[in-house]
Amino acid sequence: MNYIKKIQSKHSNEFTLTIIFIGIFILMGALSPDKFLSINNIKTMAFQMPEFGIMAIGMMITILTGGINLSITNGAALSAIVTAFILSSDFSETNPIMGVVLALIACIIVASLTGIINGTVIAYIGVAPMLVTLGTKTLFEGIGLNFTKGGAISGFPDIYSEIGNGDLLGIPIPLILYIVVIVISYLLIERSAWGTEVFMVGCNETATRFSGINTKKTLMKVYLFSGIMSGIASLIISSRYNSAKTDYGSSYLMQSITAVVLGGTSISGGHGSVVGTIVAIAIMQVISTGLNILGVNRYIVDIITGGILIVILAIRFISKEMADKKMIKLRSASSVK
Protein backbone atom coordinates (compact mmCIF):
# COMPACT_ATOMS: atom_id res chain seq x y z
CA MET A 1 0.00 0.00 0.00
CA ASN A 2 2.82 2.33 0.87
CA TYR A 3 4.41 1.63 -2.44
CA ILE A 4 1.23 2.37 -4.31
CA LYS A 5 0.79 5.55 -2.36
CA LYS A 6 4.27 6.61 -3.31
CA ILE A 7 3.64 6.07 -7.00
CA GLN A 8 0.31 7.73 -6.69
CA SER A 9 1.59 10.86 -5.03
CA LYS A 10 4.53 11.19 -7.34
CA HIS A 11 2.68 10.45 -10.56
CA SER A 12 -0.83 11.44 -9.66
CA ASN A 13 -1.64 12.50 -13.22
CA GLU A 14 -0.57 9.22 -14.82
CA PHE A 15 -2.38 7.38 -12.06
CA THR A 16 -5.65 9.21 -12.70
CA LEU A 17 -5.30 8.71 -16.44
CA THR A 18 -4.69 5.00 -16.00
CA ILE A 19 -7.83 4.65 -13.90
CA ILE A 20 -9.78 6.56 -16.55
CA PHE A 21 -8.32 4.27 -19.18
CA ILE A 22 -9.36 1.17 -17.23
CA GLY A 23 -12.78 2.67 -16.64
CA ILE A 24 -13.39 3.38 -20.31
CA PHE A 25 -11.99 -0.01 -21.28
CA ILE A 26 -14.42 -1.74 -18.92
CA LEU A 27 -17.26 0.46 -20.13
CA MET A 28 -16.58 -0.40 -23.77
CA GLY A 29 -16.17 -4.04 -22.86
CA ALA A 30 -19.51 -4.02 -21.09
CA LEU A 31 -21.24 -2.35 -24.03
CA SER A 32 -20.09 -4.93 -26.57
CA PRO A 33 -18.43 -7.78 -24.68
CA ASP A 34 -18.18 -10.30 -27.52
CA LYS A 35 -16.71 -7.85 -30.02
CA PHE A 36 -14.64 -5.34 -28.10
CA LEU A 37 -12.97 -7.86 -25.81
CA SER A 38 -12.13 -10.37 -28.53
CA ILE A 39 -8.47 -11.24 -29.06
CA ASN A 40 -8.88 -10.11 -32.64
CA ASN A 41 -9.97 -6.65 -31.63
CA ILE A 42 -7.21 -6.24 -29.08
CA LYS A 43 -4.73 -7.22 -31.77
CA THR A 44 -6.28 -4.79 -34.25
CA MET A 45 -5.88 -2.00 -31.73
CA ALA A 46 -2.27 -3.02 -31.18
CA PHE A 47 -1.69 -2.60 -34.91
CA GLN A 48 -3.48 0.74 -35.06
CA MET A 49 -1.98 2.55 -32.09
CA PRO A 50 1.78 2.71 -32.90
CA GLU A 51 1.75 5.01 -35.96
CA PHE A 52 -0.33 7.58 -34.12
CA GLY A 53 1.50 7.04 -30.82
CA ILE A 54 4.95 7.58 -32.29
CA MET A 55 3.80 10.75 -34.02
CA ALA A 56 2.31 12.01 -30.76
CA ILE A 57 5.62 11.44 -28.98
CA GLY A 58 7.28 13.51 -31.69
CA MET A 59 4.70 16.21 -31.05
CA MET A 60 5.04 15.93 -27.27
CA ILE A 61 8.72 16.79 -27.10
CA THR A 62 8.19 20.03 -29.02
CA ILE A 63 5.33 20.99 -26.72
CA LEU A 64 7.57 20.26 -23.72
CA THR A 65 9.81 23.12 -24.84
CA GLY A 66 6.80 25.39 -25.21
CA GLY A 67 6.87 24.95 -28.99
CA ILE A 68 4.77 22.91 -31.38
CA ASN A 69 5.30 21.03 -34.62
CA LEU A 70 2.46 21.61 -37.04
CA SER A 71 4.48 20.22 -39.94
CA ILE A 72 4.69 16.76 -38.38
CA THR A 73 2.12 15.02 -40.58
CA ASN A 74 3.29 16.64 -43.79
CA GLY A 75 6.90 15.92 -42.85
CA ALA A 76 5.94 12.28 -42.31
CA ALA A 77 4.14 12.19 -45.65
CA LEU A 78 7.17 13.67 -47.40
CA SER A 79 9.53 11.06 -45.93
CA ALA A 80 7.05 8.36 -46.88
CA ILE A 81 6.94 9.65 -50.44
CA VAL A 82 10.72 9.58 -50.81
CA THR A 83 10.74 6.09 -49.27
CA ALA A 84 8.05 5.04 -51.71
CA PHE A 85 10.02 6.25 -54.70
CA ILE A 86 12.93 4.03 -53.72
CA LEU A 87 10.70 1.08 -52.88
CA SER A 88 8.84 1.22 -56.17
CA SER A 89 11.97 1.68 -58.27
CA ASP A 90 13.36 -1.00 -60.58
CA PHE A 91 16.28 -1.43 -58.23
CA SER A 92 14.03 -2.54 -55.39
CA GLU A 93 12.23 -4.94 -57.67
CA THR A 94 15.44 -6.78 -58.42
CA ASN A 95 16.99 -6.42 -54.95
CA PRO A 96 14.08 -6.21 -52.53
CA ILE A 97 16.18 -6.43 -49.38
CA MET A 98 18.74 -3.84 -50.45
CA GLY A 99 15.91 -1.66 -51.68
CA VAL A 100 14.13 -1.76 -48.34
CA VAL A 101 17.33 -1.03 -46.44
CA LEU A 102 18.09 1.90 -48.71
CA ALA A 103 14.52 3.14 -48.37
CA LEU A 104 14.67 2.97 -44.58
CA ILE A 105 17.88 4.98 -44.55
CA ALA A 106 16.44 7.52 -46.97
CA CYS A 107 13.30 7.83 -44.90
CA ILE A 108 15.21 8.65 -41.74
CA ILE A 109 17.46 11.08 -43.62
CA VAL A 110 14.51 12.97 -45.11
CA ALA A 111 12.71 12.98 -41.77
CA SER A 112 15.84 14.30 -40.07
CA LEU A 113 16.13 16.98 -42.73
CA THR A 114 12.58 18.16 -42.07
CA GLY A 115 13.52 18.34 -38.40
CA ILE A 116 16.75 20.20 -39.12
CA ILE A 117 14.94 22.78 -41.26
CA ASN A 118 12.44 23.41 -38.49
CA GLY A 119 15.16 23.41 -35.86
CA THR A 120 17.40 25.84 -37.74
CA VAL A 121 14.72 28.46 -38.22
CA ILE A 122 13.36 28.04 -34.69
CA ALA A 123 16.59 27.77 -32.73
CA TYR A 124 19.05 29.82 -34.74
CA ILE A 125 16.85 32.46 -36.33
CA GLY A 126 14.49 32.53 -33.38
CA VAL A 127 11.09 32.52 -35.07
CA ALA A 128 8.10 31.23 -33.12
CA PRO A 129 7.73 27.45 -33.60
CA MET A 130 4.05 27.64 -34.47
CA LEU A 131 4.77 29.97 -37.33
CA VAL A 132 7.81 28.18 -38.64
CA THR A 133 6.10 24.82 -38.70
CA LEU A 134 3.04 26.37 -40.30
CA GLY A 135 5.32 27.56 -43.09
CA THR A 136 7.17 24.27 -43.39
CA LYS A 137 3.84 22.42 -43.34
CA THR A 138 2.92 24.20 -46.58
CA LEU A 139 6.45 23.75 -47.89
CA PHE A 140 6.62 19.98 -47.22
CA GLU A 141 3.16 19.50 -48.65
CA GLY A 142 4.22 21.46 -51.73
CA ILE A 143 7.35 19.37 -52.23
CA GLY A 144 5.33 16.18 -51.80
CA LEU A 145 2.74 17.38 -54.31
CA ASN A 146 5.45 18.31 -56.73
CA PHE A 147 6.97 14.81 -56.52
CA THR A 148 3.72 12.90 -56.76
CA LYS A 149 1.52 15.28 -58.77
CA GLY A 150 -1.13 14.47 -56.20
CA GLY A 151 -1.29 10.74 -56.76
CA ALA A 152 -0.29 7.82 -54.55
CA ILE A 153 2.93 5.90 -55.06
CA SER A 154 2.59 2.16 -54.64
CA GLY A 155 4.05 -1.14 -55.78
CA PHE A 156 6.41 -2.02 -52.94
CA PRO A 157 8.31 -5.28 -52.42
CA ASP A 158 6.22 -7.71 -50.35
CA ILE A 159 8.78 -7.86 -47.58
CA TYR A 160 8.23 -4.16 -46.82
CA SER A 161 4.64 -4.75 -45.76
CA GLU A 162 5.96 -6.83 -42.84
CA ILE A 163 6.96 -3.63 -40.99
CA GLY A 164 3.38 -2.55 -40.64
CA ASN A 165 1.47 -5.81 -40.91
CA GLY A 166 3.72 -8.61 -39.70
CA ASP A 167 4.14 -10.06 -36.24
CA LEU A 168 6.99 -11.58 -34.29
CA LEU A 169 5.97 -14.45 -31.97
CA GLY A 170 2.42 -13.18 -32.15
CA ILE A 171 3.38 -9.62 -31.24
CA PRO A 172 2.68 -7.08 -33.98
CA ILE A 173 5.90 -5.57 -35.35
CA PRO A 174 4.54 -2.00 -35.17
CA LEU A 175 3.87 -2.58 -31.49
CA ILE A 176 7.45 -3.75 -30.97
CA LEU A 177 8.69 -0.63 -32.75
CA TYR A 178 6.38 1.46 -30.60
CA ILE A 179 7.67 -0.07 -27.39
CA VAL A 180 11.27 0.50 -28.46
CA VAL A 181 10.46 4.11 -29.29
CA ILE A 182 8.73 4.56 -25.93
CA VAL A 183 11.70 3.18 -24.00
CA ILE A 184 14.21 5.28 -25.93
CA SER A 185 12.07 8.39 -25.60
CA TYR A 186 11.65 7.80 -21.88
CA LEU A 187 15.39 7.41 -21.41
CA LEU A 188 16.18 10.45 -23.55
CA ILE A 189 13.50 12.77 -22.24
CA GLU A 190 13.25 11.82 -18.60
CA ARG A 191 16.58 10.24 -17.79
CA SER A 192 19.24 12.12 -19.77
CA ALA A 193 20.98 15.44 -19.35
CA TRP A 194 19.52 16.61 -22.64
CA GLY A 195 16.06 15.69 -21.38
CA THR A 196 16.55 17.87 -18.33
CA GLU A 197 17.58 20.72 -20.61
CA VAL A 198 14.43 20.20 -22.64
CA PHE A 199 12.29 20.64 -19.54
CA MET A 200 14.34 23.65 -18.46
CA VAL A 201 13.94 25.34 -21.84
CA GLY A 202 10.22 24.72 -21.53
CA CYS A 203 10.08 26.37 -18.12
CA ASN A 204 12.17 29.39 -18.90
CA GLU A 205 14.36 29.60 -21.95
CA THR A 206 16.14 32.80 -20.98
CA ALA A 207 17.04 31.54 -17.53
CA THR A 208 18.28 28.29 -19.03
CA ARG A 209 20.48 30.15 -21.47
CA PHE A 210 21.93 32.30 -18.75
CA SER A 211 22.71 29.23 -16.70
CA GLY A 212 25.18 28.27 -19.37
CA ILE A 213 23.22 25.80 -21.45
CA ASN A 214 23.35 26.06 -25.20
CA THR A 215 19.59 26.26 -25.66
CA LYS A 216 19.92 26.56 -29.42
CA LYS A 217 21.53 23.16 -29.60
CA THR A 218 18.92 21.72 -27.25
CA LEU A 219 16.08 23.07 -29.38
CA MET A 220 17.71 21.91 -32.58
CA LYS A 221 17.87 18.39 -31.19
CA VAL A 222 14.24 18.61 -30.08
CA TYR A 223 13.03 19.30 -33.61
CA LEU A 224 15.43 16.74 -35.01
CA PHE A 225 13.96 14.17 -32.60
CA SER A 226 10.46 15.23 -33.60
CA GLY A 227 11.36 14.84 -37.27
CA ILE A 228 12.83 11.37 -36.75
CA MET A 229 9.70 10.30 -34.87
CA SER A 230 7.56 11.45 -37.78
CA GLY A 231 9.87 9.42 -40.03
CA ILE A 232 9.42 6.23 -38.01
CA ALA A 233 5.66 6.78 -37.93
CA SER A 234 5.72 7.31 -41.70
CA LEU A 235 7.44 3.94 -42.17
CA ILE A 236 4.61 2.18 -40.39
CA ILE A 237 2.02 4.22 -42.27
CA SER A 238 3.49 3.60 -45.72
CA SER A 239 3.92 -0.07 -44.93
CA ARG A 240 0.45 -0.54 -43.49
CA TYR A 241 -1.20 1.29 -46.38
CA ASN A 242 1.18 -0.10 -48.95
CA SER A 243 1.58 3.31 -50.59
CA ALA A 244 2.47 6.94 -49.92
CA LYS A 245 0.60 10.16 -50.64
CA THR A 246 0.69 13.78 -49.48
CA ASP A 247 -2.40 13.62 -47.33
CA TYR A 248 -2.00 10.30 -45.50
CA GLY A 249 -2.28 10.77 -41.78
CA SER A 250 -3.47 14.37 -42.08
CA SER A 251 -6.07 13.67 -39.40
CA TYR A 252 -3.30 12.90 -36.91
CA LEU A 253 -2.22 16.54 -36.53
CA MET A 254 -4.94 17.82 -34.23
CA GLN A 255 -5.39 14.36 -32.71
CA SER A 256 -1.78 14.20 -31.62
CA ILE A 257 -1.94 17.63 -29.99
CA THR A 258 -5.08 16.46 -28.18
CA ALA A 259 -3.36 13.28 -27.02
CA VAL A 260 -0.32 15.15 -25.73
CA VAL A 261 -2.38 17.64 -23.75
CA LEU A 262 -4.69 14.92 -22.47
CA GLY A 263 -1.56 13.15 -21.24
CA GLY A 264 -0.80 16.03 -18.90
CA THR A 265 1.77 17.94 -20.92
CA SER A 266 1.40 21.64 -20.36
CA ILE A 267 0.90 23.45 -23.66
CA SER A 268 3.15 26.25 -22.46
CA GLY A 269 5.96 23.79 -21.87
CA GLY A 270 8.09 22.58 -19.01
CA HIS A 271 5.77 19.94 -17.71
CA GLY A 272 4.72 16.50 -18.93
CA SER A 273 5.67 12.86 -19.12
CA VAL A 274 6.09 10.14 -21.71
CA VAL A 275 3.94 7.72 -19.72
CA GLY A 276 1.09 10.23 -19.51
CA THR A 277 1.12 10.66 -23.28
CA ILE A 278 1.16 6.89 -23.84
CA VAL A 279 -1.86 6.37 -21.59
CA ALA A 280 -3.69 9.24 -23.27
CA ILE A 281 -3.04 7.66 -26.68
CA ALA A 282 -4.43 4.38 -25.37
CA ILE A 283 -7.53 6.19 -24.09
CA MET A 284 -8.14 7.79 -27.48
CA GLN A 285 -7.62 4.47 -29.24
CA VAL A 286 -10.10 2.67 -27.00
CA ILE A 287 -12.71 5.40 -27.45
CA SER A 288 -12.24 5.38 -31.21
CA THR A 289 -12.40 1.61 -31.65
CA GLY A 290 -15.07 1.10 -29.03
CA LEU A 291 -17.45 3.65 -30.49
CA ASN A 292 -16.72 2.42 -33.98
CA ILE A 293 -17.76 -1.08 -33.01
CA LEU A 294 -20.95 0.36 -31.59
CA GLY A 295 -21.55 2.00 -34.96
CA VAL A 296 -21.54 5.53 -33.59
CA ASN A 297 -21.36 8.36 -36.13
CA ARG A 298 -17.79 9.54 -36.52
CA TYR A 299 -18.63 13.14 -35.67
CA ILE A 300 -19.89 12.02 -32.30
CA VAL A 301 -16.55 10.34 -31.72
CA ASP A 302 -14.92 13.71 -32.40
CA ILE A 303 -17.35 15.50 -30.13
CA ILE A 304 -16.75 13.02 -27.32
CA THR A 305 -12.99 13.27 -27.69
CA GLY A 306 -13.21 17.06 -27.51
CA GLY A 307 -15.54 16.83 -24.52
CA ILE A 308 -13.30 14.40 -22.67
CA LEU A 309 -10.33 16.68 -23.21
CA ILE A 310 -12.07 19.58 -21.52
CA VAL A 311 -13.61 17.43 -18.77
CA ILE A 312 -10.30 15.83 -17.80
CA LEU A 313 -8.48 19.16 -17.78
CA ALA A 314 -11.26 20.67 -15.71
CA ILE A 315 -11.01 17.80 -13.22
CA ARG A 316 -7.26 18.25 -13.11
CA PHE A 317 -7.71 21.93 -12.28
CA ILE A 318 -10.42 21.38 -9.68
CA SER A 319 -8.54 18.62 -7.87
CA LYS A 320 -5.45 20.80 -7.79
CA GLU A 321 -7.50 23.64 -6.42
CA MET A 322 -8.89 21.34 -3.71
CA ALA A 323 -5.44 20.12 -2.82
CA ASP A 324 -4.20 23.69 -2.54
CA LYS A 325 -7.06 24.64 -0.27
CA LYS A 326 -6.38 21.65 1.94
CA MET A 327 -2.77 22.67 2.13
CA ILE A 328 -3.68 26.20 3.12
CA LYS A 329 -6.05 24.90 5.76
CA LEU A 330 -3.40 22.59 7.18
CA ARG A 331 -0.84 25.35 7.26
CA SER A 332 -3.11 27.89 8.84
CA ALA A 333 -4.15 25.30 11.41
CA SER A 334 -0.56 24.60 12.29
CA SER A 335 0.31 28.27 12.47
CA VAL A 336 -2.55 28.86 14.89
CA LYS A 337 -1.02 26.26 17.14
Partner 1 sequence: MKKFTKRKEFGIILIILIMSFILTIVSSAFLKADNIIDILRNNAVYGIMAFGMLPVLISGGIDLSVASSIALCAVVAGKIMTVFDTNIVIVFIISMLVGALIGLINGLIITKLKIAPMVATLGIMTVTLGVVLLYTGGTWISGLPEYFKEFGMAKLGNIPTKNGLTLGIPSQVIILILSGVVTWLMLRYTLIGRGIYAIGGSEASAVRVGYNVDKIKVFIYMYSGIMTGIAAVVHTSIVQQVDPNTFLGYELTVISTVVIGGASTMGGVGTVLGTTFGIILMGILQNGLILAKIPTYWQKIVMGLVILIAISVDVINRKREQSKLVRVDVEG
Partner 2 sequence: MKKKVLSALMAVAMISSLLAGCSSKTENSSTETQTTETKSTEAQTTETESTESSYDIVVMPKLIGIPYFTQTGEGAKQAGEELGVNVIYNGPTTADAAEQVKMLEDYITQGVDAICVAPNDAAALDPVLKKAKEAGILVLDWDTEATKDLVDASIHQIDDQELGEHLAQKLVDYMGTEDGEYAIITGSLSASNLNTWIQYAKEYMEAKYPNMKLVTDPVGTDEKQTEALSKTKDLLKAYPDLKGIIAVSTPAPIGAAQAIAELGLQDQVSVVGTAVKEDCQEVLADGSLDLGCLWNTQDLGYLTVAVAKSLLDGNQLTDGMEVEGFGTIQVSGDKNVILGPPEDYVK
* β-strands 171-172, 167-168 pairing: antiparallel
**Interaction partner, residue 94 (partner 1, partner 2, none; CB < 5-8 Å by kind):** none
Contact window for partner 2 (CB under 8 A) among 9-17, 60-68, 97-105, 217-225: 9-17
**Interaction partner, residue 27 (partner 2, partner 1, none; CB < 5-8 Å by kind):** partner 2
Closest by Cα among 233, 215, 207, 182 to 48: 233
Residue pair 249/242 in contact by the 8 Å Cβ criterion = no
Site membership for partner 1, residue 79 (CB under 8 A): no
**Could you tell me the smallest distance in angstroms from the CB atom of residue 121 to partner 1?**
6
In total, the chain counts a number of residues equal to 337
Contact window for partner 1 (CB under 8 A) among 48-56, 176-184, 208-216, 309-317: 309-317
**Interaction partner, residue 15 (partner 1, partner 2, none; CB < 5-8 Å by kind):** partner 2
Q: Which is nearer to partner 2, 126 or 151 (CB)?
A: 151
Site membership for partner 1, residue 193 (CB under 8 A): no
**Interaction partner, residue 121 (partner 1, partner 2, none; CB < 5-8 Å by kind):** partner 1
Which residues does 240 contact at the CB level (< 8 Å), separation at least 6?
47, 51, 161, 164, 165, 174
Contact window for partner 1 (CB under 8 A) among 10-18, 137-145, 189-197, 207-215: 137-145
Site membership for partner 2, residue 160 (CB under 8 A): no
Q: Could you give the residue ranges of the DSSP H alpha helices within the chain?
A: 2-10, 12-31, 33-36, 39-64, 72-87, 90-94, 96-119, 129-148, 161-165, 173-190, 193-203, 205-210, 215-240, 252-262, 274-293, 298-336
How far is the first Cα of the chain from the last one, in angstroms, to the nearest whole number? 31
Site membership for partner 1, residue 134 (CB under 8 A): yes
State the Cα–Cα distance between residues 197 and 195, nearest whole angstrom: 5
Closest by Cα among 191, 204, 329 to 273: 191
**Could you tell me the smallest distance in angstroms from the CB atom of residue 21 to partner 1?**
19
Query: How many Cα atoms occupy the beta-carbon half-sphere of 34 within 13 Å?
Result: 0
Site membership for partner 2, residue 315 (CB under 8 A): yes
Residue pair 282/21 in contact by the 8 Å Cβ criterion = yes
State the Cα–Cα distance between residues 333 and 258, nearest whole angstrom: 41
Site membership for partner 2, residue 38 (CB under 8 A): yes
Sites for partner 1 among residues 223-282 (CB under 8 A): 254, 257-258, 261, 266-268
Q: Which member of 299, 333, 336, 337 binds partner 1 (CB under 8 A)?
A: 299
Site string for partner 2, 163-192 (x = CB under 8 A): -xx---------------------------
Q: What angle do CA 50, 54, 56 make, to 5 degrees?
A: 115
State the Cα–Cα distance between residues 141 and 71, nearest whole angstrom: 9
Site membership for partner 1, residue 306 (CB under 8 A): yes
Q: Output phi, psi for 238, to 5 deg.
A: -65, -30
**Could you tell me the smallest distance in angstroms from the CB atom of residue 149 to partner 2?**
8
Residue pair 182/278 in contact by the 8 Å Cβ criterion = yes
Q: DSSP 3-state assignment of 124?
A: helix
Chain positions contacting partner 1, by CB under 8 A: 70, 121, 125-128, 130-132, 134-143, 145-146, 149, 254, 257-258, 261, 266-268, 297, 299-300, 302-303, 305-307, 309-310, 313-314, 317-318
Chain positions contacting partner 2, by CB under 8 A: 4-5, 8, 12, 15-16, 19-20, 23-24, 27, 35, 38, 40-41, 44, 47-48, 51, 145, 148-152, 154, 161, 164-165, 237, 240-243, 245-252, 288-289, 291-300, 302-304, 307-308, 311-312, 315, 319, 322
